[in-house]
């Protein structure tokens, strides 16, 4: 029965996924938010800087609903995802509010994609260092290889997830910049249903069907590029 499969939870698999995903996910979502704040600051809005949000300190960014969503996605599929408290942005300080807001929104996913490639390079660098220093692989080696691998997947997952045009995700702000003003305002009004949209997105399997293939494809490119480079050593 479908409902029986839904509650057939593999606790060992969940704990394993959480153990290797928590560090790269935390790093990825914090860098994502800091990128928004930094870009906003470049355009004249220093709100995030004044509130102490341009920091990698997790205490300044953790969000209860983001943590809950992280646990929910760990229960229903192979991917885990969450978010931090949104960086406050005041477009009144921008010279070109529509364009600048879109670029601020785009900064987060772009940073996650960059991190995805960096984690792939770190993965192969770690393999080379481990090969030269370890006599045989152990649990610590296994933990860090899986964590670095997951760092690639999770950052591309964060990038593609956030770029989806679902309010209040970054993709919705980018799309609003491209829509006529009247349509943009109507579209922005959907933000009040944002949490419902995201829960349905995961529960209905759309997260796995749409974001999963995109994340795997991007990760394959990152691993392929990093592997080609390190094969020269």
What are 19-63's pLDDT values in tens digits? 788 889 889 989 999 999 999 999 999 999 999 999 998 888 877
> What average pLDDT does the segment 110-132 reach?
95
DSSP state of 211: I
Buried b (16+ CB within 10 A) or exposed e, 144-172: bbbbbbbbbbbbbbbbbbbbbebbbbbbb
Instruction: Give the C-alpha separation, 132 to 122, whole Å.
Output: 15
**Closest by Cα among 14, 11, 3, 19 to 142:** 19
Catalytic positions: 33
pLDDT, tens digit, 9 for 90 and up, residues 76-88: 555 566 677 888 9
User: How many CB atoms neighbour CB 29 within 10 A?
Assistant: 27
List, in sequence order, every residue forming a beta bridge with 211; answer none if it has no partner: none
| pLDDT for 7 beyond 50 | no
């Amino acid at each position: 029965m479908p409902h029986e499969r839904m509650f057939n939870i593999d606790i060992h698999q969940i704990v394993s996924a959480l153990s290797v995903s928590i560090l790269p996910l935390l790093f990825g979502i914090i860098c994502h938010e800091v990128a928004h704040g930094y870009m906003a600051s470049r355009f004249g809005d220093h709100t995030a800087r004044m509130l102490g949000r341009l920091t990698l300190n997790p205490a300044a960014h953790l969000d209860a609903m983001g943590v809950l969503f992280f646990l929910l996605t760990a229960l229903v599929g192979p991917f885990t995802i969450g978010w931090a408290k949104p960086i406050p942005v005041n477009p009144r300080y921008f010279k070109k509010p529509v364009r600048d807001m879109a670029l601020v929104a785009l900064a987060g996913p772009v940073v996650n994609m960059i991190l995805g490639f960096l984690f792939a390079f770190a993965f192969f660098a770690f393999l080379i260092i481990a090969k030269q220093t370890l006599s045989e692989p152990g649990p610590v080696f296994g933990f860090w290889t899986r964590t670095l691998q997951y760092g690639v997947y999770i950052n591309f997952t964060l990038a593609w997830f956030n770029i989806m045009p679902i309010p209040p995700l970054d993709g919705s702000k980018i799309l609003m910049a491209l829509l006529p003003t009247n349509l943009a305002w109507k579209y922005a009004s959907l933000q009040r249903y944002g949490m419902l949209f995201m829960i349905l997105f995961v529960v209905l399997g759309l997260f796995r069907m749409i974001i999963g293939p995109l994340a795997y494809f991007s990760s394959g490119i990152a691993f392929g590029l990093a592997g080609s480079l390190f094969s020269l050593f």
